Copies of this chain bind each other. A is one copy, B any other.
Amino acid sequence: MALYIGVSEAISPLPTITLSQLTSTLGAQLRGDGALCIGGMASLDQASEQQLSFCTSSRDQERLQHTRAGAVLLTDQLAPLCNTACIIVDDVRLAYAKASQHFSPTLPPPSVHASAVIDPTAQLADSAHVGPLCHIAAGAFIGERAVLESGAIIGCDSHIDDDCHIGPHAVICHGCQLGKRTSIGSGSVIGGDGFGFAWVNAERRWEKIAQLGRVLIGDDVEIGSLSTIDRGALDDTTIGNGVKIDNQVHLGHGVQVGDHCAFAGNTTVAGSTRFGSWCRIGGGAIINGHLDIGAGASITGSSSVMRDIPERATVGSVIPASDMRKWLRTTTLLPRLQDLFRRVSTIEQRSQSR
């Protein structure tokens, strides 16, 4: 009874690559049989003989010696410890990143699923892929090779540039713009209304402030699952190029994020805060509104930011968890700190007056 589509939209089997091809792609040096076919990656412990692994530290020496991986990415310092084929590189983590990309599922071919709903005034590149049950509203633009996964919603007059990837059930609200090669994770909402109300004192109630700005996102941005970036109240919310945002992050209305910032999971940023480029924000941080966070600043996870932060500063207010019974006793002392400072001052004065 359901809408079975005649041709399966299966993803292709994982691609394979020979060690010599891979080594040449990475601009690296190979020790071992270049004809070996590699079909995926795994950790040193889990890798099979058809898989590539990597080793970044001599602390993993034992795991390296016992790995059954077909080949291992490592530096020339670690190569002597390895009993299997080696791809020798300078920056192992970067080589791992580049190698891993060979083994992601291939992108779906250009096509528009019969169940997708597309307004006749939307512009859709022929090379785009629109999955089942997507909705593309009036005036929206979808660029070359863009991929919209099942259930993605693209609002009126929004702009999705070339090679973007919109995850299942992601929502891009009206008028928002995404640059090239930008990826939005499953269920994330770009351009929902910001949280803006005026207090009506006479009636003791809130009056809504219409959220008239947009969200403008640069190139090469990646946003995880179930994150929210609110549209500006007046001026636009802006996300620079190369910014990486994890899951369940919330950026309020009018936030401005410089290029190549990274926000870990569950971070909350209130409205109108500005980040310079290359900031790094740890998971669960809460950042107040209307602040200036200098370029290159680091905010430790679990911290609460209530003041401007200078460039390249590293700030935090996290308290590491410890035995709960002892910690509860400590928390009962905190309100008595002011008194303790006074008592110590009194003692000092007395001792001086002697």
* Contacts A324-B315, A351-B347 given; does A286 touch B302 at CB 8 Å: yes
Q: Are A262 and B206 in contact, CB atoms less than 8 angstroms apart?
A: yes
* Contact assessment for B130 and A2 in the assembled complex, using a CB-CB cutoff below 8 Å: yes
**Which residues 177-197 of A have a CB within 8 angstroms of B?**
185-187, 189, 192-193, 195-197
Query: A265: which of B112, B195, B247, B333 is its contact (CB, 8 Å)?
Result: B195
- Contact yes or no, B226 A189, CB < 8 A: yes
Question: Cα distance A228–B284 when bound, in Å?
Answer: 14
Q: Give the Cβ gap from A20 to chain B, nearest Cβ, in Å.
A: 21
Do B197 and A244 have beta carbons less than 8 Å apart? yes
Contacts of A270 in B (CB 8 A): 264-265, 283, 301
A:136-171 near B, CB below 8 Å: 137-139, 150-151, 153, 155-157, 167-169, 171
Q: Is the CB of B344 within 8 A of A321?
A: no
Which of A29-37, A60-68, A97-105 lies on the face that meets chain B?
A: A97-105
Whole-angstrom CA separation of A325 from B299 in the bound complex: 12
Which residues between 1 and 53 of chain A lie within 8 Å of chain B, taking CB atoms? 1-11, 40-43, 45-46, 53
Q: Is A274 interfacial (CB-CB < 8 Å)?
A: no
B residues in contact with A305, CB < 8 Å: 320-321
Contact flags A207-219 to B (C-beta < 8 A → 1, else 0): 1111110000000
Considering the complex, give the chain B residue whose CB is closest to the CB of A213: B42
